[in-house]
Amino acid sequence: MIALTAVIAAVYMTALIPFKGFAIVPGFTEVRPAIALPVALGLLFGPATAWGAAIGNLLSDAFGGTLSAGSAFGFVGNFFSGFVAYKLWGHLGPLSSNERPTMRSLPQLAEFVVISFVSAAGTAAIIAWGLDLLGLFPFSLFAAIIAFNNFLAAAILGPPILYLLYPRIESAGLLYMDILDERDLPDVSPRNRRIAASGLATVAAGWLVGGTVIGITVVGIPFDIPVSGIEPGTGGSTVQAAFGAVAFVLLLGFSALSAGWFAGEREFG
């Protein structure tokens, strides 16, 4: 798992750096087709993907010339993008396909799109909250940019990646639930799995939507400002900071409820 973390970090960093020149907000975010990797690979390598995505993003900032205080929130946000994929798959009730993520059926594709949205929403909310806390950018604008960018890339590129890789990784015995010792895959009750997954999804989506509404109605940030007009120093909302703090604590709480790593994928055979 440590070796996989290092490999994923290197691959993710290598996939991110070439797009640093396609900046949306110079120095802070750019076109990121590579964001499809944490969501797709999260279903293959579990926690190794979450840590690999976090470390890879930090390294891409360092070597790509965009390292800043905001990179700390980028670390946490990218961790979430890989983490939430294997937490949610198979545990979203009627939204789940109850199949392995081989991307060979419409229910699997639908479930993956839902997870891509949750991943994009949570990642965007964490990073935008951090940049607002630092006083750099308003939450509502930056969150919308990141969420749309991440969701589009993951929903389009993720299924082909899994279609090609899942059967090969499975046959090689490299899926995370095959590598980890049984003691590292605690027997979490199905009820707690569903509660944790539903909680993570609800808080991530609610944070994105709620923070955007706060930005428009309370903070008074016009939503039609062009991207080129976003300047550092326009963040720093106290209301946004408090709302985000509550949401972040809730994310931590539902993560703790899931008690480590789910072994639920084995239920699908």
- Cβ(183)–Cβ(206) below 8 Å: no
**Which residue in 176, 186, 77 sits closest to 129, CA to CA?**
77
CA angle 174, 124, 185 (to 5 degrees): 30
pLDDT tier at 265, thresholds 50, 70, 90: very low
Give the model confidence (pLDDT) of 34-91 as tens digits. 889 999 999 999 999 999 999 999 999 898 888 888 899 999 999 999 999 999 999 8
Q: What is the pLDDT of residues 205-218, one digit of tens each?
A: 999 999 999 988 88
State the alpha helices, DSSP H only, in the chain.
2-16, 36-45, 47-64, 71-88, 106-133, 139-171, 176-179, 190-213, 238-257
Q: What is the pLDDT of residue 219?
A: 76
Q: How many other β-carbons are positioned within 10 Å of the β-carbon of residue 65?
A: 10
- Residues 69 and 116: their CA atoms lie apart, in Å, by 26
- Does the pLDDT at position 264 exceed 50? no
CA distance 90 to 85: 10
Strand partners, 23: 30
Residue 162: predicted pLDDT: 97
pLDDT digits (tens, 9 = 90+) for 87-120: 999 989 899 999 999 999 999 999 999 999 999 9
Q: Apex CA 58: angle with CA 159 and CA 74, to 5°?
A: 70
In this structure, what token pair is assigned to residue 29?
Answer: 């975010």
Torsion of CA 203, 15, 54, 241, to 10 degrees: -50
Is it the case that residue 136 has pLDDT exceeding 80? yes
Residue 235, token pair as written in the block: 């963040």
Segment 175-208, tens digit of pLDDT: 998 888 766 665 677 788 889 999 999 999 999 9
Closest C-alpha among 60, 111, 106, 110 to residue 85 = 111
Q: Is the pLDDT of residue 262 over 80?
A: no
